Amino acid sequence: MSMTMTQKILAAHCGKDELRPGDMILADTDLVLGNDITAPVAINEFMKAGCDCVFDCGKIALVMDHFTPNKDIKAAEQTKHVREFAHEKSIENFFDVGEMGVEHALLPEKGMVTAGDLVIGADSHTCTYGALGAFSTGVGSTDMAAAMAYGKVWLRVPAAISVVLTGRLRKYVSGKDIILHLIHKIGVDGALYESLEFSGEGAHSLSMDDRLCICNMAIEAGAKNGIFPVDEKTYLFLKEHGAREPKVYAADPDAAYERTIHIDLSQLTPVVAFPHLPENGKTFDEIGEVPIHQVVVGSCTNGRLSDLREAAEILKGRMVCKGVRALIIPATQRIWLDAMKEGLLEIFINAGCAVSTPTCGPCLGGHMGILARGERCVATTNRNFVGRMGDPKSEVYLASPAVAAASAVTGKLSSPEELQ
């Protein structure tokens, strides 16, 4: 039987020669991930079940990235709980203040995921690692607890949607614009429990950072996972980051897809997702005057070095508009250092931005940039639900780093081309 790329990876991890959409499988995991919000719940379930030890000390990653440095007593207790568990169970990949980063940027950077892996995480954006040719998906904390104990997870095999990309992106158009365009096209439930499988010459033209961004937001279309084919760029990325030897799976030429979506990258322009859903994408020919109060460049979607470079290119020699708060959050310590060495942080500070230690804080309204009633924020994050970054009467507009930076300068939603 012909299978998609995702189905082949799942088959390899449950010892079957073939799988069909809808099959229930018990699959072996290569990596189990939790953070400072979800891991405490999983640890409690692990203990309640009477489990004594984890299945593999080297295949569990615990990243303290949402409320760290701790914002309050509750956050401090949460991280303490995880810290003590990690020490007691000899978890090798425990990342705390000073060495942590935003989890979905940190793990690829450290070479902890490779092509062909099966990765689960108690965080919905675990689907990021499909950019590396892995099957990765978010699960609940109870599933995480079971996987920490036994190294296995129950999954239903997803059907797939083929997304064929052609052409090449224009300047100031990025992976963020591709995924916002796709979500606008199919809706937030358009790929519900399906695999988004990207292919075509346009897919190969994309940078790894663009692919990571796209797969990160596959969940915003309801997808079980997003995945890109393994090519020379993938191999180079994995080698540069010291990842394990990849196992490459490719979809069969006659693999069955629920439908096929074609996107010509050369025709795309910057997209902004208006409140309060990622599907509310608009291009600038549809956008009027929208004053803003805050800009955030960062998160697991767009906090990588290429994102900071894009924002810095626009902010260099300019000032953030009076009355606008601009927050720049490198996604990992390494990215922070590289940005410093390149002079990017100096550009941001001279422009009137605040530069933060790595954190997910603003993305979910945890800390570092909470919005007040009536305020609007342009964010490179991945969700803009009601109250996502603060007061329920605030608004979040999702955009690329280029759009976010341009908007910071003008004080309103703006295309980078307006500044040229």
Beta bridge partners of 27: 153
The continuous run of DSSP H or E covering 161 comes out as: strand 159-166
Q: With contact defined as beta carbons under 8 Å apart, do 56 and 90 qualify?
A: no
pLDDT at residue 1 in the model:
73
Sign of CA dihedral 383, 388, 390, 391: positive
Q: What domains can be seen in the chain, in order of their start residue?
A: 5-264 (3.30.499.10), 273-419 (3.30.499.10)
**Global model pTM greater than 0.75:** yes
Low-confidence ranges of the chain (pLDDT < 70): none
Tens digits of residue pLDDT in 238-273: 999 999 999 999 999 999 999 999 999 999 999 999
pLDDT at residue 414 in the model:
96
pLDDT at residue 364 in the model:
85
pLDDT at residue 68 in the model:
83
pLDDT at residue 418 in the model:
86
Distance CA 334, CA 404 (A): 23
